[in-house]
Amino acid sequence: MTNRNFEDTAYRHRLHFRKKLIFVPFLIVGILALISYIVMLLWNNLLPDIFHVTTITYWQAAGLLILSKILFGFGGPKGRGGAPWMRHKIERFKNMSPEEQERFREQMRARCSKWGRHQGGFDWDEPKTTQEVPKPTE
């Protein structure tokens, strides 16, 4: 194969790829339309019976889909998804030293001490009484 034939083949492949690129916007619009339709169907078939809400139109479903993507992020590979306003905080945590990370965790535990780790059952109304267990004598 001569150099001339290789250049012609590469040019034809690039031209063919550019022709395919024209269809990408149409593909994106088609996928968004299909997902919006699925959101509308799921909403109208599930939520009115469960939560007694009204049904929605196609355009309301599309708006709901766009709003949820803006608020909660688009996802992505390797944990790069999530809400857009939280990404810089996650990056900042990754760049901390282990001592700084532990100090940050301790600060969060102090702020959120009432959440999470409940000792025992779920008796929210009555406060727990602490009794000391006698130490066994030897």
Rounded CA gap, 41 and 47, in Å? Answer: 10
- Exposed e or buried b per residue across 49-79, where buried means at least 16 C-beta atoms within 10 angstroms of its C-beta: eeeeeeebeeeebbeebeeeeeeebeeeeee
Between residues 65 and 136, the one the model is more confident about: 65
Q: What is the largest CA-CA distance in the chain?
A: 96
Residue predicted with more confidence, 15 or 66: 66
Per-residue tokens: 37: 């339709």
Q: What's the pLDDT score for residue 77? A: 55
Using CA atoms, how far residue 124 sits from 99, 114, 119, 121, in Å, is 35, 11, 11, 9
User: What is the model's pLDDT at position 61?
Assistant: 96
Using CA of residue 15, residue 17, residue 20, residue 25, what is the dihedral sign?
A: negative
